[in-house]
């Protein structure tokens, strides 16, 4: 953390104030020194500092009053308190009132710099978290699923309704649309959340093994069954069994599965006793099962049994409204995963992202953003960082603005764009300003101008 910001130092002892000012200036801080709480409040009327280093016990307005005022006004600055040696009670009180850190006097230069760095870091994280929370309002998420398009909002409402039921759910959607995440979120929001979530990829298991994988087997049930083994139905007891790529399930196994779903009981391969099932089954497919039923490769009766609650996730290209918040959240995820700061995303680049057709859906978007976080060196993305096909003339031109032959009404266009940006960001002004590539002040100014404030 390099010190290049404005720092307000509040210390009533002149000699101390002098020394601290010197140290901090050497570190690159733009120091404003105040000799009392009164002076500090006066200084706060000016531009807000990034950090306040404040003595706790002062005659007149004391440190805690300065702190209260800073927090009351919601100033986003980090606040570090200096307390007399041994007065741990003051330090505790300071933290409780919202200080970010404290220093017991006397302190060494290094201890001071460390405390300041820590406080700045805490504040920065706090700001990032608020930004993230701001960007993703409560109604735009269900568990880990994000989306604000009409289609996804409808999906959320259905999920909400069925989460707590025992109904079998069939999720369909193209590859990468989030089928597994829907299944996991459904589980997490259900009464079975404390139980296990057990995924089985039916396409990845050899036909001959699926049955024993699902229902388990007794020792010696078949060649190679050297010991007894529990199947996924037992493993998922009390939880959710996720049958992924159900279309790949061989017809023979489909018959066994149907029986289990109907009787809620099964037998291990080679076993005799029946075992009660206690699982909620959620299945997923990236192919239309109805079509497979028509051509005879999927059992009709099983199809109806699974399809009690059908959930269809539309491809990403049909819901571009979801792309900005997904982009933001997935960038933040990549940032955490790789401990690398995500590059800034200028509107021109976001526009190319929103306009792309995303044949690989959310997974493709997630992979691209992860790559960008790892490879971008400038700290700011440029269109050139995107794959060539996304920058193809057609792609870029569609979002470009060209002056209509008959000219246009500038003010009306501006007001229209402001409204759209506010709408798309659900009233979040910071996000709306970003969509238009405007600084926050410039954005507010224009809102006022059009009476949209």
Ligand X SMILES: Nc1ncnc2c1ncn2[C@@H]1O[C@H](COP(=O)(O)OP(=O)(O)OP(=O)(O)O)[C@@H](O)[C@H]1O
Instruction: State the number of binding residues for Mg ion (CB under 5 A).
Output: 1
CB of 248 to ligand X, least distance (A): 12
CB of 147 to ligand X, least distance (A): 5
Q: CA-to-CA distance for 171 and 243, rounded, in angstroms?
A: 10
By beta-carbon proximity to Mg ion, the closer residue of 176 and 231 is 176
CB of 175 to ligand X, least distance (A): 4
- 84 forms beta bridges with 105
CB of 182 to ligand X, least distance (A): 7
How many Cβ atoms from other residues are within 10 Å of residue 334's Cβ?
20
Q: What residues from 246 to 305 belong to the interface with ligand X (CB under 6 A)?
A: 286
Contact between 173 and ligand X per CB under 6 A? yes
The H or E element containing residue 267 is strand 265-267
Contact between 163 and ligand X per CB under 6 A? no
By beta-carbon proximity to ligand X, the closer residue of 178 and 343 is 178
By beta-carbon proximity to Mg ion, the closer residue of 69 and 180 is 180
The tally of CA atoms less than 13 A away on the side-chain side of residue 45 is 5
Contact between 175 and ligand X per CB under 6 A? yes
- 81 forms beta bridges with 54, 102
The torsion angles phi and psi of 186, rounded to 5 degrees, stand at: -60, -45
Which among Mg ion, ligand X, none contacts residue 177 (Cβ within 5 to 8 A by kind)? ligand X
Binding part of the chain for ligand X, among 25-33, 174-182, 291-299, 408-416 by CB under 6 A, reads 174-182
**Residues contacting residue 93 through CB under 8 Å, at least 6 positions apart:** 64
User: Do 262 and 223 contact (CB within 8 A), yes or no?
Assistant: no
Q: CA-to-CA distance for 128 and 78, rounded, in angstroms?
A: 14
Q: Of 287, 288, 286, 241, which Cα lies nearest the Cα of 260?
A: 241
CB of 179 to Mg ion, least distance (A): 5
Q: What residues from 75 to 94 belong to the interface with ligand X (CB under 6 A)?
A: none
Binding part of the chain for ligand X, among 56-64, 94-102, 143-151, 253-261 by CB under 6 A, reads 143-151
- 7 forms beta bridges with 31, 51
Contact between 314 and ligand X per CB under 6 A? no
Contact between 145 and ligand X per CB under 6 A? yes
The H or E element containing residue 60 is none
CA 339-342-344 angle, 5° bins: 165
User: Do 145 and 185 contact (CB within 8 A), yes or no?
Assistant: yes
Binding mask 126-165 for Mg ion (x = CB under 5 A): ----------------------------------------
Measured between alpha carbons, how far is residue 399 from residues 347, 406, 430 in Å?
Answer: 11, 20, 22
Binding part of the chain for ligand X, among 1-9, 86-94, 177-185, 209-217 by CB under 6 A, reads 177-185
By beta-carbon proximity to ligand X, the closer residue of 115 and 145 is 145
In this chain, which of 180, 235, 321, 335 binds ligand X, going by CB under 6 A? 180
Contact between 179 and ligand X per CB under 6 A? yes
In this chain, which of 27, 65, 128, 180 binds Mg ion, going by CB under 5 A? 180
Instruction: State the number of binding residues for ligand X (CB under 6 A).
Output: 16
Q: CA-to-CA distance for 103 and 410, rounded, in angstroms?
A: 56
Token digits for 231?
Answer: 């199947």
Edge-to-edge strand list for the sheet holding 169-173 = 197-201, 240-244, 280-285, 169-173, 309-313
Contact between 181 and ligand X per CB under 6 A? yes
**Which residue bears the tokens 């995500």?**
342
Which among Mg ion, ligand X, none contacts residue 302 (Cβ within 5 to 8 A by kind)? none
By beta-carbon proximity to ligand X, the closer residue of 31 and 329 is 329
Contact between 16 and ligand X per CB under 6 A? no
**Which residue bears the tokens 């979530």?**
197
Contact between 49 and ligand X per CB under 6 A? no
Q: CA-to-CA distance for 316 and 176, rounded, in angstroms?
A: 9
Contact between 324 and ligand X per CB under 6 A? no
CB of 180 to ligand X, least distance (A): 3
Q: CA-to-CA distance for 35 and 91, rounded, in angstroms?
A: 21
CB of 275 to ligand X, least distance (A): 29
CB of 45 to Mg ion, least distance (A): 56
Contact between 146 and ligand X per CB under 6 A? yes
Binding mask 330-369 for ligand X (x = CB under 6 A): --------------------------------xx--x---
Measured between alpha carbons, how far is residue 372 from residues 330, 332, 344, 434 in Å?
Answer: 11, 12, 11, 19
Contact between 158 and ligand X per CB under 6 A? no
Q: Of 348, 350, 349, 368, which Cα lies nearest the Cα of 358?
A: 368
Binding site for ligand X (CB under 6 A): 145-147, 173, 175-181, 286, 326, 362-363, 366
Instruction: List interacting residues with Mg ion (CB under 5 A).
Output: 180
């Amino acid at each position: 953390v390099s010190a290049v910001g404005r720092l307000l130092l509040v210390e009533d002892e002149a000699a101390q104030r002098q020394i601290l000012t010197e140290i901090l200036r050497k570190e690159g801080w733009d120091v404003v020194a105040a000799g009392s709480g009164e002076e500090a409040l006066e200084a706060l009327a000016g531009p807000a500092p990034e950090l306040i280093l404040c003595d706790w016990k002062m005659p007149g307005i004391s440190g805690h009053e300065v702190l209260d005022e800073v927090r009351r006004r919601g100033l986003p600055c980090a606040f570090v308190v200096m307390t007399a040696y041994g007065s741990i009670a003051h330090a505790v009180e300071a933290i409780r009132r919202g200080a970010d850190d404290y220093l017991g006097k006397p302190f060494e230069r290094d201890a001071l710099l460390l405390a300041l760095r820590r406080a700045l870091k805490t504040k920065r994280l706090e700001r990032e978290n608020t930004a993230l929370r701001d960007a993703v309002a409560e109604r735009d998420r269900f568990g880990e699923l994000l989306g604000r398009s009409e289609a996804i909002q409808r999906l959320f409402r259905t999920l909400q309704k069925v989460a707590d039921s025992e109904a079998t759910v069939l999720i369909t959607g193209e590859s990468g649309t989030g089928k597994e995440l829907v299944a996991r979120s459904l589980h997490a929001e259900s009464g079975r959340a404390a139980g296990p979530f057990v995924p089985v990829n039916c396409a990845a298991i050899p036909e001959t093994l699926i049955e024993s994988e699902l229902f388990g087997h007794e020792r010696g049930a078949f060649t190679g069954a050297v010991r007894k083994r529990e199947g996924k139905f037992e493993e998922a007891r009390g939880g959710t069994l996720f049958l992924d790529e159900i279309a790949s399930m061989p017809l023979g196994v489909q018959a066994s599965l149907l029986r289990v779903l109907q009787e809620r009981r099964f037998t291990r391969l080679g076993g005799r006793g029946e075992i009660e099932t206690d699982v909620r089954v959620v299945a997923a497919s990236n192919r239309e099962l109805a079509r497979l039923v028509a051509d005879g490769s999927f059992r009709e009766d099983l199809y109806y049994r699974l399809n009690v609650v059908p959930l269809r996730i539309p491809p990403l290209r049909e819901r571009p409204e979801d792309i900005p918040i997904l982009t933001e959240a997935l960038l933040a995820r990549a940032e955490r995963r790789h401990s690398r700061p995500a590059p800034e995303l200028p509107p021109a680049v976001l526009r190319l992202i929103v306009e792309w057709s995303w044949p690989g859906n959310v997974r493709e978007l997630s992979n691209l953003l992860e790559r960008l976080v790892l490879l971008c060196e400038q700290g700011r993305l440029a269109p050139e960082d995107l794959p060539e096909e996304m920058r193809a003339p057609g792609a870029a031109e569609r979002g470009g603005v060209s002056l209509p032959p008959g000219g246009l009404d500038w003010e009306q266009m501006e007001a229209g764009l402001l409204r759209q940006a506010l709408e798309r960001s659900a009233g979040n002004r910071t996000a709306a300003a970003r969509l238009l590539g405007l600084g926050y002040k410039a954005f507010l100014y224009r809102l006022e101008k059009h009476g949209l404030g």
